[in-house]
């Protein structure tokens, strides 16, 4: 196996390996670098999905969806049954936990 070592490549690798330590020692500048990195990525995504799609021809296809009416009626019926059960349950008078219980003599 032949190993080709370039002094320039070695310097670049050393620089890249020192970046995390430098960012940890200088948190403000590290934060700025990460912020710029995030802005660069978001700008690339924005460019791809906004500017490049403006030039693309939009397909004018009409998509028809089929609505399942019986399934909707069944769901509405289940919800109404649950509401009736909830309303018939009534309320329970809970005891006040801050008042000591009365002792019977």
Q: How far apart are CA 24 and CA 22, in angstroms?
A: 5
Q: Which of 4, 7, 37 is nearest to 20 (CA)?
A: 37
Element (DSSP H or E) covering residue 87: helix 69-89
Contact, 24 vs 30, CB < 8 A? yes
Length of the chain: 105
Q: Which tens digit of pLDDT belongs to each residue from 17-70?
A: 998 898 889 999 999 989 999 999 999 999 988 877 766 666 666 777 788 889
pTM of the complete model: 0.41
Contact, 86 vs 78, CB < 8 A? no
Going from N- to C-terminal start, the domains of the chain cover 7-55
Q: Which two tokens stand for residue 74?
A: 């069944």
């Amino acid at each position: 196996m032949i190993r080709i070592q370039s002094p320039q490549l070695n310097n670049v690798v050393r620089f890249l390996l020192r970046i995390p330590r430098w960012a940890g020692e200088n948190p403000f500048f590290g934060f700025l670098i990460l912020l710029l990195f995030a802005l660069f990525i978001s700008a690339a995504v924005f460019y791809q999905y906004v500017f490049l799609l403006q030039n693309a021809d939009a397909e004018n296809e009409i998509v028809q969806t089929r609505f399942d009416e019986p399934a909707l009626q069944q769901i509405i019926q289940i919800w109404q049954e649950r509401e009736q059960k909830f309303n018939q349950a009534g309320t329970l008078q809970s005891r006040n936990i801050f008042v000591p219980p009365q002792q019977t003599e």
